[in-house]
Structure 1
Amino acid sequence: MNALAIVLRGVPAGIALSSVAVAPTSHAADAPSAVATPTAAPAVAPMASPTAPQTAFKVSPGPLGTALADFGSQAGVTVQLDSRLVEGMKTQGIDGSFTVRGGFAALLAGTGLDVSESSPGVFLVRSHPAVTSDAPDATTLPVVNVSAQSEQNPYGPTAGYVAYTTSSATKSGTSILEAPQSVSVVTRDQMTEQNAQTLNAAVRYTSGVTAETRGGVATRYDLLTVRGFDADAYWNGLKQIGNGMYATPQLDPYLLDRIEVLKGPVSVLYGQASAGGVLDQESKLPTRAPLHEVGIEFGNYGHKQATFDFSGPLDADGRYLYRLTALARSEDGQVNTTRNERIAIAPSFTWRPDSNTSLTLLALYQRDPRSTSYGSVPPQGSTLPSPYGKLPSDFYDGDVNFERFSRTQESVGYKFEHKLDPNWTVRANGRYYHIGNDYASVYSNGLEADNRTLDRAAIGSTDQMNTVALDNQLEGRFSTGPVQHTVLTGFDYQHMASSYLLGYGAAPSLDILAPDYYQSITDPARTLTQVRSNQFGVYAQDQMRFDHVVLTLSGREDWTHSSSLTHDSGSGTQSAQSARAFTKRAGLTYVFDNGIAPYASYTESFTPQAGVDATGKAFDPERARQYEIGIKYQPNNYDAMFTVALFDLTRKNLLTTDANNPNFQSQAGEARSRGVELEGKMSLTDSLNVTASYTYLDTKYTKDNSGLQGQYLPSVPQNQASLWAYYTERRGPLAGLSAGAGVRYTGQTYAYDDAYRLSSFLLVDATLRYDLGHLAPRLKGSEIYVNAQNLLNKRYVASCYYSTWCAFGYGRQVFAGANYRW
């Protein structure tokens, strides 16, 4: 990595680079210690100038390079510097009215650096003449043009593993230190270095997340839990709405720049939501810096993949930007006789008519003609003993002639932002999404007493779904005396219209010792169901800052309505249901000067539920509430983020058997998750990235009428831990060589109704990567790599999500590939 990359590490993700001209530099370690010594700038008051106009600026504390990029972004000027000069330096930021020169001076106070305007709108940061430096001459310094996006848009890439801002926690681009809720960010660098090809793989090393709860069987859906409960997938801040059957959106991680995992109930910002939280997937967006990348990859299971990613300006002024990202993949599924196939292309276009306005249009076409299996294995022979020994990890319970899965996803959307003035901003996001889905499968219903005859049934579903999601926001900043406010108000809307032909039928049994996968199976009779749903929500939030204290208060009102029409037996069965819910959140954070930030918060969620009780009364929404305390730590002298969170999360109004009317359900159920999460993300140098986590969960049904009370939630381990480190050699004969390794531990889990217990497992991942440009100049931009997941080919059962349905985890996957960038 060249010296320029160091200054970009930790830059808020919303800051896009418009052009980069990299000059030859020596390694950062060769810079004199007088320049590299960390320096914390004191808190700075606004500086006045009698001649130049002043503008309100707010730059958060943090790495000096990040702060300079933020300030240049807000001022709409170009920042030119050698990244070695600011490596390891920190600043307490600024907040007030400054001239451009005054703002730079305030940020650089006490650092031994100063700034000069080398040409109109171009500011050069360099060592003060009194400070000795062997940095390159100013005429050869790398140039970083920072776009006029503000620090409040952390949506783009983050160099390294450490992100300092979050868009999901408050919808207002808040510092992670100030967000009163636990949030983890998986950056593009981490996804690339771990070669994550599913959302599950991308969050394997994230605290609180139990990934791949259906193991290596189900790749077509992102099945995972956060803090023991389901979580909702979002894309660019808008919900990925499903129809409740088999039409469920899924994005390929290659199309993404970052993934934010916001843990716990968040209806106060997002409306109806699962108790586990939100996984917000942020797209690769157009860049001002020209970007060209092509890649090929091969691996076991017949894996073949090709990718390209192009981006850059369409005009000299950088007002029109584009990006075109695409992928094609084909491979055998881990389950015998199955395959995965995918083609995805995501074009986007940005128009910036001025420094205060931005409009980005995004589109997606993703076609999955095939997608392995959605079946299971019986517990006998997988996690429980069997008189016939162990089942193979590629065991298939379906039928080759009957099995099919085909999904097409199409989407268009927009992201709009306009600054009314330095303190007020309007945003509007919207998306239309279409899914066409055809699914048929034979699935197991458990082994008979002979332990070799597998009972089976058939299912078929053809789905069509259209959704619309809109979110409109107004953000303002002002002060009331000594208290600074960041106020966010918004209105959002979600609409879903779906129809599906669904049928269940019989299927012949299967002899697991001599399976016949080509039997005659009749497609089940189908019933057409049409579903419509709408959600309207209004929300308001105020982040109040007084000295080191940040108080966040949020409230939201939602109205939901859903209807269903089922065409059965020549007649129609129609139902409709409406719900209204108010949710709230309160959080208090104290940010010390040394980067330590203890916090406490309370937050809620709701989820509408269909159906009626024995009296005919419609079910109330499920409710969840969470109490959380924790400490976040962002060191002043190196690039890292550490978090500790303790939480108590409860879901109420769960459906369970009515104790007085067993043929009906009541809302007497309740489930609880308590635990602690520890996570650290470190980019210790420009060569070493580390992420580590530990999670303890105590998840149980606390109220239930069907026998579950006091039992553990299925497939949720009490203990999880992970560690991943990635190192790049920058000098010497091994320069250009990178190596990474990680371990993932998952503790014991229970099957549904605690029928039996599953063993813990430990998995090892590893990777090697080499920059061929170190061999010969003509190979600059080329790299080769090999990546292994579950390197030791550990055979394990990922979960038994029901008493008769279990899933093997992924076996060893080895990918080797090459990329070329120019």
Structure 2
Amino acid sequence: MIVQISTRGAALFGGLPLALAMSIAPAPAFAEDEAAEQHDEVTVEGVRQPYRGNFTMREIPQAIATIDAGTLQENNILRLTDALDLNASVARQNTLGGLWDSFAVRGFAGDENLPSGYLVNGFNAGRGFSGQRDVAGIERIEVLKGPAAAVLGRGEPGGTINLVTKQAELGRTFGTAGLQYRSFDTLRAEGDANVALTGHLTARLIGYAEKGDSFRDTIHQRRWGFLPSIALGIGDRTRLIYDLEWTRVAVPFDRGIVVLNDNFRIVPRSRFLGEPGDGDTVARALGHQLRLQHDLGNGWTLLLGASRRDTRLTGASSDAETARTRQKLYVDGRTLSRQRRTRRYESGHSVLRAEVSGEFATGALRHRVLLGGDIDYFDSDQYFTRFRGPVVSATTTDRQSYAIDILNPVYGRWPQPNGVVTFDRLDVQRTMGAYVQDQISLTDRLQVRVGGRFDDFLLRVDDRLLKTLGRRKRARFSPQAGVVYELSAPLSLYAAYGEGYRANVGADAKGAIFDPETTRSIEAGVKLTALNGRLSGTLAVYQLDKSNVLATDTLNPGFSVAIGKARSRGVELDVSGQLPGRVDVLLSYAYTHAVARTKVLDPAFSFQILPGDPLINIPDHNLNVQVAKHMTLGTREALLGAGAHYVGERSGQTGTTFTLPSYTVARVFGEVDVTGDVTLFGSVSNLFDRQWYANSYMPLWVQPGAPRTATIGLRARF
């Protein structure tokens, strides 16, 4: 079979027939039970995940939460940002007008001027400009919390998100096709086909296409992706896997609504305050992964891998002016002064890695060892222009301020102004790392983990606007240690300590390269496995300390400023599994106290930070709870579920008292087999149509959450 794809056709929703044509794979059902762990919790159809080794979840001195494909499918979740709401340790951050994924784990988010990093099959893959990640092709999402940076490298101390993708399964042919309609005239098609070409060669073709409006006025979106995987079995001991990521997102840049004098109802949540004439901002990604797993025998495994990912984001936007002296809204309460910005952001990311894992004994001691290294090249090329109006005076006209009336907006009233180049910079990061880890079984109940990672990195900043070239080279060893004690068959205790070291990409507005970020993390907890492995849970407490923290420079868009130190302390509870009576439960709660620990009082910037000030967009309390009941209606299988998500108050602007209100949103979902091979499914999110706010940068850039949204669809399989 030959499939030809035109970029233009896919962009015009030609991807719908493609997704349906490719679609043939059963919706996987997953059970996170101890029995599955005993086989190998860290495998996907026989493929071992890197940086992990051969351990069950309860043997790892770290809190790990898993969101599987079945949970995503039942809730009809389509974006990574929405999926991460299911775990309370993760909080939403500023998403660059909805154009990238940004989140904090245990209170720490990294650089606000770059997307949040995440892993895909163990490869660093989230730092580019590819738009918000779709969940199509994801087998499960792992929230790897706590001090794991000593092995993973370059991660946030709060934790790392790892996306495990659906892999080609050797020797099998199966598939699904799905079509759904959602509120706001949104139509989506997706498909998944696993085709055994020979006994040792299989291709898995995954695709999706989506087109529709939004609850935001004038906002129309188009998305498509093609995510195939090819697996080749070379003998009984070797497997070679290739994965492709080819995606495109086209959606207008949207900064959200304005809030004046803490009044969140000045404008309706649907009101768009940009310019439809700016057109779409387009994000593209083209990525490749090649992974080789070889069984060396006697319990030893060799993993080799390489990846390359290129991204590009281009477009223009009209955004509320953030400088108070240039903002007419503060004068009359209805005239919003705006900036106009254009962007061309590009990135290239290459990774090579190798790892050997296995076990041996020294006397009565059992050693399980990881030994590996990686090379990471990341280039970020950003070109940015901006127009901004003058300081507001009695003679300043609306045209000079590129203004819009927030109470009665008239789009296209003024000619689009031309901006000047304010940012033209190439950041280059080269990192080489090596790591070793040994988990020693001292007794049948007690295990100790020791290890560490050595990183050597080079950071180069070529500021073409300032005509400066900066360079910084650093190296550091980051240790880790942990202990696991099996208290009883269902209970185990653990504690862990780890240090991290990560280059802060870029330089400040004056061209000075930032010092690297260093972290120290400590946590302890208890893990529970009950009901013959059908129910599992983790209760953890932690403290994270970070130095050389960055925040957005509010007077210089695209730049960051160092704010010194920060600390996060918290308590977390995660419970998931199935109760008797075929009732699935999911409970995730987090108390997070994340604050600055350094005094920053610089008149050159428009904010002041004091020790104890909360970090932006981090709620003290976050809770997600969900219950789903499997049942039989006649001869047909069915499911009915409901859930709720509570998010507490959060700081809405660095160094100020502006606060986003708490919210609770409810959801219901269900599905029923119409025939043996066709399932009817539906969901309603924000069931009671609550007003809620996802994140904020400052009072004039606040992202409202979606109103009540309903979805209905059909899924076929064979």
Q: Same fold (TM over 0.5)?
A: yes
1:127 aligned residue: none
Is 1:224 aligned to residue 103 of structure 2? yes
The partner residue of 1:378 within 252, 258, 263 is: 258
**Counterpart in the other structure of 1:81:** none
Of 743, 759, 762 in structure 1, the residue corresponding to residue 664 of structure 2 is: 762
Quote the residue 1:239 is aligned against: 124
Q: Secondary structure of 1:185's match?
A: strand
1:815 aligns with 2:711: yes
The match for 2:433 is 537
Note the 1:388-403 alignment, pairs <5 A. Answer: 390-403=266-279
Match of 1:497 in 2: 379
Of 578, 589, 594 in structure 2, the residue corresponding to residue 699 of structure 1 is 594
Q: Which residue of structure 1 lines up, in the alignment, with residue 20 of structure 2?
A: none
Does the Cα contact within 8 Å between 1:407 and 1:437 map onto a contact in 2? yes
Q: Distance in 2 between matches of 1:502 and 1:271?
A: 30
Q: For residue 261 of structure 1, report the CA deviation from its aligned partner.
A: 0.6
* Counterparts in 2 of 1:523 and 1:287: CA distance versus 1, 3 Å: farther
Partner deviation per Cα, 1:278-330 (whole Å, 9 max, x = no partner):
11111110124322111101011111001110004222xx3112200000001
- Which residue pairs with 1:729 in the alignment? 631
Does the residue aligned with 2:100 lie in a helix, a strand or coil? coil
Residues 8 and 505 of structure 1, relative CA distance in 2, 3 Å threshold? closer
Following the alignment from structure 2 to structure 1, what is the Cα–Cα distance between the partners of residues 560 and 349? 30
Q: Displacement of 1:464 after TM fit?
A: 2.9
Q: Is the 8 A contact 1:577 1:610 kept in 2?
A: no
Greater Cα offset, 714-723 or 222-231: 222-231
Counterpart of 2:43?
Answer: 154
Show the 5 A alignment for 1:66-85. Answer: 67=38, 70=39
Q: Which residue of 1 aligns with 2:609?
A: 708
Equivalent residue for 1:747, pick from 648, 653, 661:
648
1:204 paired residue number: 85
Match status 1:622 vs 2:513: no
Q: Is the Cα–Cα contact under 8 Å of residues 588 and 625 in structure 2 kept in the other structure?
A: yes
The TM-score, its normalising length taken from structure 2, stands at 0.85
C-alpha separation in 2, matches of 1:674 and 1:400: 43
> Per the alignment, in what secondary structure is the counterpart of residue 484 of structure 2?
strand
Q: Is the 8 A contact 2:253 2:316 kept in 1?
A: no
Distance 1:453 1:596 in 2: 61
Query: CA shift at 1:516, angstroms?
Result: 2.0
Report the AA paired with residue 44 of structure 2. Y
Q: Which has the higher contact order (CA 8 A, sep 6+)?
A: 2
Aligned to 1:141: none
Aligned equivalents of 1:666, 1:395: Cα separation in 2: 32
Greater CA deviation, 781-790 or 257-266? 257-266
**C-alpha distance 344-615 of structure 1, shift in aligned 2 (>3 A):** closer
Which AA in structure 2 matches 1:282? V
Q: Does 1:579 align with 2:459?
A: no
Which residue in 2 is equivalent to 1:414? 290
SS of the residue corresponding to residue 703 of structure 1 reads coil
Distance (Å, rounded) in 1 between the aligned partners of 2:79 and 2:508: 39
Any residues of structure 2 matched to 1:787-802 within 5 Å, and which? 787-802=683-698
Alignment partner, residue 524 of structure 1: 419
* Cα 1:554–1:194 shift into 2, 3 Å: same
**Contact preservation (8 Å) 1:736, 1:770:** yes
Q: 1:196 to 1:327 in 2, by over 3 A?
A: same
**Higher radius of gyration, 1 or 2:** 1
Paired with 2:667 and 2:597, the residues of 1 have a C-alpha distance of 37
1:642 paired to 2:537: yes
Q: SS of the residue aligned with 1:174?
A: coil
Greater mean deviation of Cα atoms: 250-259 or 626-635: 250-259
Report the secondary structure of 1:254's partner residue. Answer: coil
1:633 aligns with 2:633: no
- Aligned pair in 2 of structure 1 residues 804, 512: CA closer, same or farther (>3 Å)? closer
CA distance in 1, matches of 2:561, 2:682: 53
Alignment RMSD, CA only?
Answer: 2.9
TM-score, with normalisation over the residues of structure 1? Answer: 0.75
Paired residue type of 2:704: F
Aligned equivalents of 2:197 and 2:457: distance in 1? 43
> Aligned pair in 2 of structure 1 residues 613, 224: CA closer, same or farther (>3 Å)?
closer
The one-character-per-residue Cα deviations of 1:680-716 (angstroms, maximum 9, x if unpaired) are: 0012358321101111111111222223222111211
- Asked whether 1:297 is paired with 2:175, we answer no
1:254 to 136, 142, 145: 136
Contact 1:549 1:589 survives alignment (8 Å): yes
- Contact conserved, 1:435 with 1:465, CA < 8 A, in 2? yes
User: What are the Cα deviations for residues 744-789 of structure 1, in whole angstroms up to 9, with x where unaligned?
Assistant: 111122222242333211100111211012xxxxxx2101111111
CA distance in 2, matches of 1:784, 1:344: 24
What is residue 90 of structure 1 aligned with on the other side? none
Kept after mapping to 2: 8 A contact 1:606/1:624: yes
2:441 is the counterpart of 1:441:
no
Alignment of 1:465-480 (within 5 A): 465-480=347-362
Confirm or deny: 8 A CA contact 1:670 1:704 kept in the other structure.
Answer: no
Deviation at 1:565, TM superposition (A): 2.2
Q: Equivalent residue of 1:232, what SS? A: coil
In structure 1, the residue matched to 2:214 is 333
Query: What is aligned with 2:196?
Result: 313
Distance 2:37 2:452 in 1: 32
Going from structure 1 to structure 2, the CA distance change for 1:240 and 1:472 (only over 3 Å counts) comes to same
SS of 1:189's partner is: helix
Contact 1:205 1:722 (8 Å CA) reproduced? yes
Residues 156 and 788 (structure 1), Cα distance of their counterparts in 2 relative to 1, 3 Å cut = farther
Cα distance in structure 1, aligned partners of 2:716 and 2:341: 45
CA gap of 1:565–1:371, structure 2 versus 1, over 3 A, is same
1:237-275 CA-partner distances (Å, limit 9, x unpaired)? 0111535xxx25643201110000112343212222223
Amino acid at match of 2:457: T
Q: Which residue of 1 aligns with 2:280?
A: 404
Tell me how far apart the structure 1 counterparts of residues 408 and 144 of structure 2 sit (CA, whole Å): 47
CA deviations on 1:321-357 (whole Å, 9 max, x unpaired) are 2200000001213321112211111111111122211
Show CA shifts across 1:453-496 (max 9, x none).
Answer: 11211111113322211221011210111111111111101112
Q: Could you tell me which residue of structure 2 aligns to residue 674 of structure 1?
A: 569
* Contact 1:8/1:66 (<8 A) preserved: no
Gaps of at least 5 residues in structure 1 are 12-61, 71-150, 158-164, 658-663, 774-779
Number of paired residues? 652
1:66 shift after superposition: 6.6
Secondary structure, counterpart of 1:186 in structure 2: strand
Amino acid at match of 2:121: N
Distance in 2 separating the partners of 1:567 and 1:757: 38
Greater shift in the superposed pair: 553-562 or 460-469: 460-469
The CA deviation string for residues 652-704 of structure 1, in whole angstroms up to 9 with x for no partner, is 133699xxxxxx99967211111100110012358321101111111111222
User: What code does the residue aligned with 2:637 have?
Assistant: G
Q: How far apart are the structure 2 equivalents of 1:395 and 1:615? A: 37
Correspondences of 1:271-282 after superposition (within 5 Å):
271-282=153-164
**Once the 2 structures are TM-superposed, how far is the Cα of residue 562 of structure 1 from its aligned partner?**
2.0
Q: Which moved more, 1:291-300 or 1:604-613?
A: 604-613
Instruction: Indicate how the Cα distance of structure 1 residues 638 and 587 shifts in structure 2: closer, same or farther if over 3 A, else same.
Output: closer
1:8: Cα distance to partner? Answer: 7.1
- C-alpha separation in 2, matches of 1:725 and 1:632: 21
> CA–CA distance in 2 between the matches of 1:353 and 1:544?
33
1:57 is matched with which residue?
A: none
2:556 alignment partner in structure 1: none
Structure 1 residues 241 and 337, CA gap change in structure 2 (3 angstroms): same
Q: Which runs of 5+ in 2 are unaligned?
A: 1-25, 110-115, 323-328, 389-400, 553-558, 602-607
Query: Secondary structure of 1:711's partner?
Result: coil
| Pairing of 1:126-137 with structure 2 (within 5 A) | none
Residues 540 and 573 of structure 2 are in contact (CA less than 8 Å); yes or no, is this contact kept in structure 1? yes
> Cα distance 1:667–1:209, how it changes in 2: closer, same or farther (>3 A)?
closer
